[in-house]
Every structure is written in structure tokens, then in C-alpha cells.
Amino acid sequence: MAKRDLNELPPPYYSVAVHTLPPLQSYEEVVYGTGPGPAPPNPLYYIPQQPPPVAVQHVCQPSAPPPSKKKCKCCHHSAKCIGGSGVIFLLIVLTMAIWFGVRYGARFEAFADPHNHDDDKDGTGSYGKLSRLSVLDTCPTSTVQCDAMPDCQLGTDESNCVRFGADSALQVRTSQHSHFLPVCYLGWDQSYADQTCAQLGFRKSFGTKALKTQQSIGLTVNKQLSLPIQGRVNISSPCPDQNTVSLQCTDCGRQQVTSRIIGGSVAQLGQWPWQLSLHFGGSHVCGGVLVSPDFVVTAAHCFPRSLPLGFDASRWRVYGGVVSQKKLPTPYLVEKIIVNENYDNKTNDQDIALLRLASPVEFSYAVQPACLPAFDQTLSQGTKCWTSGFGTTNEGAAVPSKVLMEVGVGIIDIRLCNSSKVYPGCVSENMLCAGDINGGRDSCQGDSGGPLVCQDRDSRWQLVGVTSWGSGCGLRNKPGVYTKVSSLLPWIYSKMQMENL
């Protein structure tokens, strides 16, 4: 987490070289980060001990693929990723497996090729305790979307039928109408609210109320409680009294502490209660964001395909309510790792993943979920937001911060972020930029997967971004780039729903 004066910027970040991969392959495919320690005796993995100071060039080639906080392939951006003993542990284990021909070879190939399902006997996407990239669904030609009757093997035809607009306005798509429509409040009750939230992967609803709308067409509820919401509504024109449903599935985005340390950037307990620390091998590796009692949002690049042990859910520990790595509570265990099947490790597009926890989190003063944004959320240039994490406070540092850090950042217009002086053509529609274009305020290595949150008009904090990539930390014209959560809401909700089937 970088918050520095421009005159105190650190030296350039030193990346990890991977000699057996193509020149443009990012270092996250092999290692979570850099740190001191002996280099493994295997040419697959090379970690420079004390690399010489080499100036980092920020030159994007038009024909080259874009970036990665990780490492941008076209712009040589540095990772917002990992450091510390977990890296050494992971590399030692992998090196031993490769050197002695242990059974990881077959699984390595399976993870390297997401279309190789030979070991996936039950079709669930799991290899014993190993989780993997989401697999593509199989659907018959007669499939009808959102008719409340699952036709596809994994049920994807019914997994993108619900969304939320501003003020938590519930919108549903049915087989009768191709567009999302509001649900009329007349006839709506608590049982509908609870069942709809449960359908989406939440355990129950938190609150529901009437919301005025100007739309001339809506959906009225019927009494078929056994069906998902898209099968329990009929087209109505218009809703009686123009009242539609507002639905909240969690009491989210509430800060328990709002005061800050004057002149400091150390976060207090309860200030960012959705912030999580993901540990692998006993060390902080990435950040995460609690969005429900059962699910954590994080970055896909925290789980590189070429490291199958990183997909072993049993090796991960998730800590919540933490502001110091020296005072860790009882961890949450991970049941499954779900990485976006559309994640592109060359462009870092759609850099998002979900963790399903083995048991639900009990919310408390120090542990609360962040709100997911509306599907059509827009953020104007300069909107003040906050990012937090246990990342390094100096670019290129070997270990993450021992305390939770925070920094206020401003939203930067994507046109400016994609300009020739910043990240020319490297920022996709599924990304957003935040920081200070003049430098000095940024996330850093170890913050990957952590939250970028902004307050809505109800003073609730919404998860608008997931820390993904950038060039260095706090550099001028090199702000942080975050996965745009509103763009990937269909994926998030569909995966949560599919896990709930």
C-alpha cells in the first residue's frame, strides 16, 4: 500500500525471470512474488537474489498483449501480488515434485490445460481437494434461457436471470421477455425475498421494501414457490402504484469505525471489516473481500494455472477481522477455488476469482461484508474511494506489511488511463483506474485481490474494484488498475448461484 511523497519514490521494481516460458509470459505464471532466499536448483524457477538496478521501460507495443498487478505483458507493469516465505515454500514443494517425478506431473498438465478434464471424474471441477478453473457447460440445442427449468448440465442457462440496479432494485429476466424487468411490489413478501437471495447464493434476505419506478412494464409474482424467481413472475403492464421491489440480501458496507489516525495510513479494527488476508504456506499471499457469509471475491492471478498446488483449497487459510499479521485469529477454511474461466493471463482481463468457504462467517464488529455494486454503476472522474491491504509499503520490498494499510484514491477516467502517456490501449472495459495521476497514492505488491470501495448515497461501501495490476507503485502516470466489479457481476452471481444448487 503506497502513500508516499513524490520525492521519496522507491527504486524500480525487479521482476522474476522465467526462462522456460515465452518472453511475454508474466512472472505470475510461475511465482507469486519476489523475496530473499535460495533460488531452487531448477531452471524453471529463477529468483534473483539481489538484482542490479535496471530502469523499467514503460513502452507498450501495439501488437503486444496488454498488462498484468502481476505484470503487464506490454508495459512491463509490476505485480500487486505476493512476497515472503509462502513463495519459497511453494517453490520448494514444486521443485521437489518435478525433480523426483512425483505424481504432480499429470495434474500440472490438467491445470495448464483448462480443457483437459480427464481427471475430473465427477464433472464438478474438483480433483479431490484441488479446485480448478471453471469448466464450460454443456447445453442442448433446445435450451431456453431463464425459463426456470435447468437444461444445461451445470445449470448456466438459469444462472444469469437476476440483477440489481440502483437502490437495490430487483430486476429479473424471463423466457417471456429478453430484457431485465423490475418486479412489482404488490404480492411480494418475506418468503419471496428469502428465496430469491438464497437462489443467488446468500443464505437469506436482509431487507426488502417498495421502490418507485417510471417503467411502463414490470413483473408480478405468482404462488409457485418451488421455482426460482424467473419462474414465479409474469409480465404486468404497469406495476400497481408504480411500486417495485428493492431487495438487500446482506447488511453490507457498514464501517464499524470511521475515525482515522491523523497523518497516518494504518487502518483500525472495524474500519474495513470486509478486508481479508489470504495465506498460503503460512504467509500472506493476496487480499480478499468478503461479500457474503460463504463467498470471498479476490483476483484470478493469485492462482496461476502453472502452479497446481495453488489450487489445493486445503492449503489456503483466510483471515478476517485482521489489522496485524502478528495477531491472527482462527482462520476460515476454503472449500473451493473458482477462477473466472474467461480470465486472460496475457491481458489480465477479467481478473477475478471466488472462494467458497467451508463454513459460513459469523459477522461481527470486525468482520462485515462489502456491498456488490449495481449492474449499471457509473463512477465519475475524481470520485473519492479507498483501497486497503497488507501489501508492501515500498515497491520491490521482499515481505508484505505487518499491519493493514489504507489509502484514499480518486477514480481516473478510462480514456485518460488508456492514453499514450499512461497505459496506451492496455485498459479493457472490465477494468478501472484509480489513484493519483501525479503519483504517490497507490496499492502495491501483496495487495492483489483486495478491495477498492466507494461510498454510495446511503453511506454504504460498495466493492467497485479488485486490486489487479499496474506499473510500479505510486509512479507518475502509472495509477493502479482494478478489476471492474460491475462488469463481472453476471459471473459473480452466476457462480454463487451454481454453488448453491
In angstroms, the Cα distances linking 158 to 83, 154, 299 are 40, 9, 25
Q: What is the CA radius of gyration of the chain?
A: 23
The distance from CA 167 to its chain's CA centroid, rounded to whole angstroms, is 23
Distance in angstroms (rounded) separating the CA atoms of residues 424 and 94: 37
Q: How far apart are CA 107 and CA 117, in angstroms?
A: 10
Q: Where would I find the H helices in 209-275?
A: none
Residue 93 corresponds to which cell in the numbers above? 514443494
Indicate the residue type of 133: L
Rounded CA-CA distance 72/59 in Å is 11
The answer to whether the CB of 443 falls within 8 A of the CB of 483 is no
- The answer to whether residue 301 is catalytic is yes
Distance CA 222, CA 187 (A): 8
Give me the amino acid identity at 25. Answer: Q
* Catalytic choice (147, 351, 442, 447): 351
Residue of 107, 98, 160 lying closest to 131 (CA atoms): 107
End-to-end alpha-carbon separation of the chain, Å? 38
- Residue 369 corresponds to which amino acid? P
Q: Rounded to the nearest 5 degrees, what angle is found at the Cα of 96, between the Cα atoms of 111 and 106?
A: 30
The single residue of 448, 468, 471, 486 carrying the catalytic annotation is: 448
Catalytic residue among 301, 349, 443, 447: 301
Calpha distance 464→455 (Å, rounded) = 10
Q: Which residues are catalytic?
A: 301, 351, 448
